[in-house]
Amino acid sequence: MSRLIKTDRDVATVVGKLLRFGVLSACLVAIIGGLMFLILHRSEISDFTQFRGAPEYLRSLEGIYGGLLALDARAVIQAGVLILIATPILRVALSVFAFALEGDYLYVVITVIVLLIISVGMFGGLAG
């Protein structure tokens, strides 16, 4: 990685490619899931009089993974959403390594703190 990142411009280029790849991947996965859903559920009539959130099994990583193995269209769409959420988090993680390679240790510490705040918010949050 040190060959890839020598200047601030190189960091910006790598981060830009990561963000572009993440967003495009998320879109592709969500579109595939959407098409699967439309094909598999084309004869269903939607009832919009009552809101129904995502099924319970799609609210955990294990459930999404199991749904992907079963080729469940909703799980594929949810995986696209997860990829989209993970993209900026990976950007922050990549920034830690980039700052370390550049020797900007103050920014390494600040970025690690940001990454910890994000992690606590995601995995140790107050939501049930």
Contact present, 37 and 75 (Cβ < 8 Å): no
pLDDT in tens, 32-76: 999 999 999 888 887 878 888 888 999 888 999 999 999 999 999
Q: Which amino acid is at 28?
A: L
CA 104, CA 4: separation in Å to the nearest integer?
Answer: 17
The answer to whether the pTM exceeds 0.85 is no
